[in-house]
Structure 1
């Protein structure tokens, strides 16, 4: 695993260990898996560059702050 990939995954792990978006931003993720878990899976499956691009596209779709039902959106 390349150093960049390890670095990004460590940051995602730290974010998840602190509780993710709920305590830090006051919102819960609209998706299943959560955006941070999606990013982690995408980076592991597709590498740092493509995985980060996929994660940013996912984050851009996250715009319903108080959505009740979760959207299933696995990593392809």
Structure 2
């Protein structure tokens, strides 16, 4: 079972990294993060999802990533929102300087 879980994690993370390199406005070859960031959160939603999949597994990680993407709009506060230590679908905004 651990082998299947590891393969699933690898495939999901590889798919997200391909998306980042080809389509993401924050990670792809045409991105200019030194000028401006498109994503309102740090880490970006795709990086957040990769970290969540590594920490919580494919199903929970993808659920957390989907929840994060649904929060990514002009009606929510932006800022530092790392992957929480415990599984939750709520925002985990923190002050990075606290």
Structure 2 runs not aligned, ≥5 long: 31-36, 85-98
Q: Which has the higher contact order (CA 8 A, sep 6+)?
A: 1
**Residue 58 (structure 1) shift:** 0.2
Cα root mean square deviation, aligned:
2.4
Q: How many residues align?
A: 70
Between 52-61 and 2-11, the greater mean CA deviation after superposition: 2-11
TM-score normalised according to structure 1 size: 0.77
After superposing on structure 2, the runs of 4+ consecutive aligned residues of structure 1 that deviate more than 2 Å are: none
Aligned residue in 2 for 1:72: 80
Aligned residue in 1 for 2:65: 55
Q: Which is helix-richer, 1 or 2?
A: 1
Aligned residue in 2 for 1:30: 40
**Residue 21 (structure 1) shift:** 3.4
TM-score normalised according to structure 2 size: 0.62
